[in-house]
Structure 1
Amino acid sequence: MTTETTETKETGATGRGGPAVLVVQHEEDAGPGLVGERLVRTGLRLDVIRAWRGEALPETLGGHAGLLVLGGSANCEDDEAAPWLPRVRGLVREAVAGEVPLLGICLGGQVVAHALGGAVSRRARGPEAGAVPLRRLPAAEGDPVLGGVPEGAPAAQWHWDEVDRLPDGAVPLLTGDDCPYQAFRVGSAGWAVQFHPEVGADTVAAWAAVDGEDLRAAGGDPEAAVASVREAEPELRAVWGAVSEAWGAVVRARAGARGV
């Protein structure tokens, strides 16, 4: 299976048996990708809700063992453009309160911050795009999901907004030169990242085909962004695939303890 096929295929309910992770997908070209592939490999089942198509999110997490909120182009407070966001915020709060494993990616991470009392703003210095090296913060040591990320590991970026204030009690884990809150932990089993661990260069190239002119107008270089992700792709897949499996292990362990 090629990287492009892995990233863009429609997932639906993926995986046989095993604990189920509720996946909130906001856009057609922003699926679970590598993260979903690795979660299925760990024995989890993905229950993907394509919210932009009008597929209804559940009222509660119910029998789901985890919650994965993916990325997208909407602002995390734009309930008119994405009318399912209030329900997503409710599910995020339920996950944190109930210690159900949570992972928010890019827009999903911003939703986590906003839902729990943090703040998100437009980047005054323009969008961050391409493969960007990250730095570990002290709290990353021993973290069950991000503790193994090496210093300077690249991460694929494509975002115009960013978290500018963490929720009370949130623990920053990874940072970067141009974006302070690249990853943080909330509660006992919640994680949020600003970058895209789920994508490779083919997906970033597809985004550049749509948003490249906007990126260029804001001072970015879409061709360079795609090239940097393509060059870093083997390391991206190794590092963030391992992180995905580590989060999957948390989901499975918690599911067993909760009998889900």
Structure 2
Amino acid sequence: MSAPRVLVVEHENGTGPAQVGERLTARGLDLVIRRPWAGDLLPLTPDDYDGLLVLGGSMGPYDEEQAPWLSAAGDLLRQAVARDMPTLGICLGMELLTVACGGTVRHSERPEVGLCELTPLLPASRDELFAPLTKGTPPCAVQWHWEETAVLPEGAVPLLTSARCAHQAYRMGTSVWGVQFHPEVLADDIAGWGTSDVGPLRALGLDPSSVVAHVAAEEERLRALWGSFAERWGDIVTARRTAPVRP
């Protein structure tokens, strides 16, 4: 039997799957990365894949003039929900999931950048992907967002929250998850983001190098926590594969 295939939608240079991709590949999954920002076309349906991973980017979910492929990415997410296909939307990916399923996204009054503590909600303790995060020390994750989900889609199950952002993670159906934070990144991954976002970070009273250094200091913890998270999601993709078996 061939390896489970995951369609990865990358919205911008420097925003790849990083450690999530590394863990999935090591788990035996085949990542098919589409980069519409570089001219790749997105498929009309996710039918040829076993999982869908939609990554982040500096644009917002309504910025189709800047990124005209966003509606196509939203269509894929909507179809994934209808099929209950294993899906993970990260940051912009979660925001696109929200909009695609009838929720709303707004500009955050208090953007989150850098490390942030997350608070599991009661449904997380019964969630296949998030349950391990409800035990022991509250999880922390890297944040880098100026937009946030204001109204969840109908039927969404909230899983995580934080002091500044009510909706940090939620689930649709049994197999579709969105996370506002970035489980895929470590210090080296965000170093370039700090360089390109110097102005916005300074406006928030943040020093880019200090943000990167703070993440670097927690790198071992982040690698273990979110690496395991990625592996669990990969195992769900493998267990629930629905795409046709390929030679």
Question: TM range, normalised to the smaller chain?
Answer: over 0.9
Partner of 1:145: 129
> Which residue type is aligned with residue 241 of structure 1?
G
1:132 is the counterpart of 2:116: yes
Q: Does 1:223 align with 2:209?
A: yes
Q: TM-score, normalised by structure 2?
A: 0.94
The answer to whether structure 1 residue 58 and structure 2 residue 34 are counterparts is no
Q: Which residue of 1 aligns with 2:174?
A: 188
Aligned-pair RMSD on alpha carbons? 1.5
> Any stretches of 5+ residues in structure 1 without a counterpart?
1-15
1:34-49 equivalences under 5 Å are 34-49=19-34
Counterpart of 2:14? 29
* Residue-by-residue CA offset, 1:47-85 (whole Å, 9 max, x unaligned): 000110110001111220000000000110111111111
Q: Which residue of the other structure, out of 72, 88, 93, is the alignment partner of 2:57?
A: 72
Match of 1:9 in 2: none
Give the match's secondary structure for 1:141.
helix
Cα distance in 2 for partners of 1:222, 1:178 equals 20
1:1-260 equivalent positions in 2, closer than 5 A = 17-125=2-110, 127-149=111-133, 150=135, 151-255=137-241, 259-260=244-245
Q: What are the superposed Cα offsets for residues 197-243 of structure 1, whole Å, 9 maximum, x if unpaired? A: 00000111111011022211233332332122111111111111111
Deviation per CA, 1:172-218: give whole Å up to 9, x if none.
11111111111110112100000010000011111101102221123
Preserved CA contact (<8 Å) 2:49 2:243: no
Distance 2:218 2:22 in 1: 19
Distance in 2, matches of 1:137 and 1:102, equals 20
Cα deviation 1:17-38 (Å, max 9, x = unaligned)? 4010000000110000011111
How far the C-alpha of 1:259 sits from its partner, in A, is 4.8
Q: Distance in 2 between matches of 1:246 and 1:144?
A: 8
CA distance in structure 2 between the partners assigned to 1:55 and 1:259 by the alignment? 23
**2-structure distance, mates of 1:259, 1:24:** 21
Alpha-carbon distance between aligned partners in 2 of 1:68 and 1:105, rounded to the nearest angstrom = 8
- Contact kept in structure 2, 1:129 and 1:222, CA below 8 Å: no
* SS class of match (1:124): strand
| Deviation at residue 114 of structure 1 after TM alignment | 0.9
CA contact (8 A) 1:49 1:57 kept: yes
How many residues align? The count is 243
Residue 258 of structure 1, CA deviation: 5.7
Gaps (5+ residues) in structure 2? Answer: none
Write the distance in 2 (CA, Å) between the matches of 1:220 and 1:209: 12
